[in-house]
Amino acid sequence: MSTQAITFNRHLWQQHKQFNQPIGLSILMTQMGFAAKILSREIGLAALAGKLGLVGEKNATGDTQKKLDVFSNEVVIDAFSDTGLVAAIASEELDQVQLIECGGDAQYILCIDPLDGSSNTDTGNAVGTIFGFYRRHTTGYCGTEADVLRQGADLITAGYILYGASTILVYSCGGSVDGFTLDPSVGEFMLSHPDIHCPTEGKIYSANLSYYCEWRPQIQTLVDYLGDSQSTHHPPYSMRYSGALVADVHRILLEGGLYFYPSTHQQPDGKLRLLYENAPLAFVVEQAGGLASTGKQRILDIKADSIHQRSPLVIGSASAVTLYEQFLQEGAPV
């Protein structure tokens, strides 16, 4: 590897110098990189360290917590709560917003899913972390829940970490979307995917087809349409679904295509959570030229009413998301 390789910290410094990125944000992203290294190590060694399996408690959204869920939450809370920069943290694994006694200088709010796709942990498959930072609105000694209940369009930085065949951190501060791969031998994230653009079209769709019978007829028709190898409208799509949102969206971001988790009769708002899953990923994918929608509304335009609020998610290549919206509103093209 060249000694000119760009480390994550060097990239953050360049962003600060060239684009006036606030130094506080650079410090927070450094902390995110640190948390990612700890999690990468612990997820990789979990089977040897007795960290697989359930804790037995349910989290705020009714999922039974795994040991790695609890551990991951502790790692991210520890990484950010003493920085003096973060006034409140909303996490998938916390019932309430963690309000931090920090003084008025703490300018940032963090929304985070510490371990996304945790059903994959026991089999050693890919998992992720999803994060988004907002600028704080209030100025008191402690953050408030209102600081967290925001629309994604207010995000100033968002990204994710994929723990898969390699550990990859992807983020955007509102300019380019850049990806960094962890080199464990030197303990650094190195720039590996500069200036990511989501292709306007793709050949992959990603969705849990076991819900097919529970989806609206328009979505069933779309799935039939995408998989139709005889179609004269489009090349046939292939289906890829890992059960980890980060892994599936990362593939779509790089190669194009469509991820969707729609509403069902039983879950009219879908499964995925707005603040710490959908909005941060929507921010990244839009910055890379893609789109993210509920099928009817842009994800980044929704203001959260509660911290664990859910929404349907359709995300990926601009043309594919638009096609989904057309199917939902008008049905199949003639």
Catalytic residue numbers read: 63, 69, 92-93, 113, 115-116, 277
From its phi and psi, is residue 68 left (phi > 0), alpha (psi between -120 and 50) or beta?
A: alpha
Least distance in angstroms from the C-beta of 331 to Mg ion: 31
Partner from ligand AHM, Mg ion, none contacting 68, C-beta within 5 to 8 A by type? none
Least distance in angstroms from the C-beta of 315 to ligand AHM: 11
Q: With respect to Mg ion, which residue has the nearer C-beta, 118 or 263?
A: 118
Q: What is the DSSP string of 47-107?
A: TTTT--SEEEEE-TTSPEEEHHHHHHHHHHHHHHHTSSSEEEEEETT-SS-EE-B--TT--
Q: Which residues bind to ligand AHM, rule: CB under 6 A?
A: 63, 92, 113, 116-118, 208, 243-245, 271
Partner from Mg ion, ligand AHM, none contacting 150, C-beta within 5 to 8 A by type? none
Least distance in angstroms from the C-beta of 143 to Mg ion: 22
- Alpha-carbon distance 80 to 107, whole Å? 12
**Dihedral of alpha carbons 10, 13, 19, 21, sign:** positive
Q: With respect to ligand AHM, which residue has the nearer C-beta, 156 or 252?
A: 252
Specify whether the CB–CB gap between 204 and 255 falls below 8 A: yes
Give CA separation, 242 vs 22, 53, 208, 223, in Å: 36, 19, 9, 17
Partner from ligand AHM, Mg ion, none contacting 271, C-beta within 5 to 8 A by type? ligand AHM
- Alpha-carbon distance 178 to 245, whole Å? 19
Partner from ligand AHM, Mg ion, none contacting 118, C-beta within 5 to 8 A by type? ligand AHM
Q: With respect to Mg ion, which residue has the nearer C-beta, 59 or 172?
A: 59
Q: With respect to ligand AHM, which residue has the nearer C-beta, 119 or 238?
A: 119
Within 124-181, where are the H helices?
Answer: 145-148
Least distance in angstroms from the C-beta of 92 to Mg ion: 6
Q: With respect to Mg ion, which residue has the nearer C-beta, 115 or 173?
A: 115
Q: Which residues bind to Mg ion, rule: CB under 5 A?
A: 113, 116
**Residue 117: helix, strand or coil by DSSP?**
coil
Partner from Mg ion, ligand AHM, none contacting 100, C-beta within 5 to 8 A by type? none
Least distance in angstroms from the C-beta of 120 to ligand AHM: 8
Specify whether the CB–CB gap between 246 and 118 falls below 8 A: no
